[in-house]
């Protein structure tokens, strides 16, 4: 039995058994996020053993309100649509729908609810990989530029492994094809910036798909 680090939560694979039977791509995305989470966990654990202190904590939302370049892959985008439409209910649903409708470049992330990530289980890999050591960020600070040495650098090999799992979704299935795709970074051409996406469509979809179940989804 592995011991849980005092500052870290051992990652678990997200599971939506009924939905995974119906939604063809969902299991693939959940496996990718599990790979990413394990990579981050192992990487952070190594840094903490060296004496570093993780500054990030639940309720800290500086990066959500400051960063304006959040890369999102197509499969992640579909996952966001699915999760917001199918799994979020109540006041949080209304708030996210309203923020998506009113969103414009320069605003905080439209999925930020009461200083917490409203889509935490389905947040993009870019958010999962971004962690800061030493001290909490100052208001409006982007530590990637102000103190790069305090920003966690994910293991490139395991990061690429997670990204490579997306390739079949894009019809890239042969081993040689996949290796070439990773080397060339061809998937980068499919990336969208979360802050440059027109979220009006998702807002309207949420309106047209009322969610009245007593759905309880965990935040961070």
What average pLDDT does the segment 85-107 reach?
A: 94
pLDDT of residue 124: 97
pLDDT value, residue 212: 57
Q: Which pLDDT value is given to residue 1?
A: 39
Task: Report whether 219 contacts 117 (CB < 8 A).
Answer: yes
pLDDT beyond 90 at 152 = yes
Q: What is the mean pLDDT of the chain?
A: 90
**Would you kindly state where each structural domain of the chain is located, as residue ranges?**
20-208
Name 206's bridge partners.
none
Q: Across residues 142-163, what is the average pLDDT?
A: 93
Residue 64: the pLDDT is 93
Report pTM.
Answer: 0.89
Q: How far is CA 65 from CA 19, 40, 109, 207, in A?
A: 31, 22, 6, 25
- Please spell the DSSP secondary structure of the chain, one letter per residue: -PPPPTT-PPP-----HHHHHH-TTHHHHHHHHHHHHHHHHHHHHHHHHTT--B---TT--HHHHH----EE-HHHHHHHHHHHHHH--HHHHHHHHHHHHH--TTSPPTTEETTEETTGGG--HHHHH--BBSSPPPTT--HHHH-GGGB----HHHHHHHHHTTGGGGT--SHHHHHHHHHHTGGGGG-EEGGGS-THHHHHHHHHS---S-------
Is residue 210's pLDDT more than 80?
no
How much is the pLDDT for 8? 87
- pLDDT band at residue 70, thresholds of 50, 70 and 90? very high
Judged against a pLDDT cut of 90, whether residue 36 lies above it is answered with yes
Distance between CA atoms of 74 and 78, rounded to whole angstroms? 6
For β-strands 112-113 and 192-193, DSSP reports them as unpaired
Which has the minimum average pLDDT: 34-38, 49-53, 103-107?
103-107
At 110 the pLDDT is 96
Q: Is residue 220 scored above 60 in pLDDT? A: no
CA-CA distance, 101 to 198, in Å (whole number)?
9
């Amino acid at each position: 039995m592995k011991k849980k680090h005092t500052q870290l939560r051992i990652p678990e694979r997200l599971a939506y058994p009924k939905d995974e039977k119906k939604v063809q791509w969902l299991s693939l995305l959940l496996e990718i996020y599990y790979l990413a989470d394990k990579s981050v966990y192992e990487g952070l654990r190594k840094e903490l053993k060296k004496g570093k202190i993780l500054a990030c904590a639940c309720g800290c939302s500086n990066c959500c309100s400051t960063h304006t370049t959040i890369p999102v892959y197509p499969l992640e985008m579909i996952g966001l649509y699915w999760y917001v439409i199918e799994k979020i209910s109540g006041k949080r649903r209304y708030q996210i729908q309203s923020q998506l409708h009113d969103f414009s470049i320069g605003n905080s992330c439209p999925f930020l609810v009461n200083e917490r990530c409203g889509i935490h289980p389905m947040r993009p890999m870019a958010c999962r990989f971004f962690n800061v050591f030493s001290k909490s960020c100052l208001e409006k600070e982007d530590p990637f530029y102000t103190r790069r040495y305090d920003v966690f650098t994910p293991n490139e090999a395991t990061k690429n492994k997670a990204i490579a799992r997306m390739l079949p979704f894009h019809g890239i299935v042969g081993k040689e094809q996949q290796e070439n795709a990773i080397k060339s970074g061809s998937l980068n051409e499919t990336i969208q910036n979360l802050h440059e996406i027109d979220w009006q469509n998702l807002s309207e979809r949420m309106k047209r798909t009322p969610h009245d179940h007593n759905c309880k989804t965990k935040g961070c």
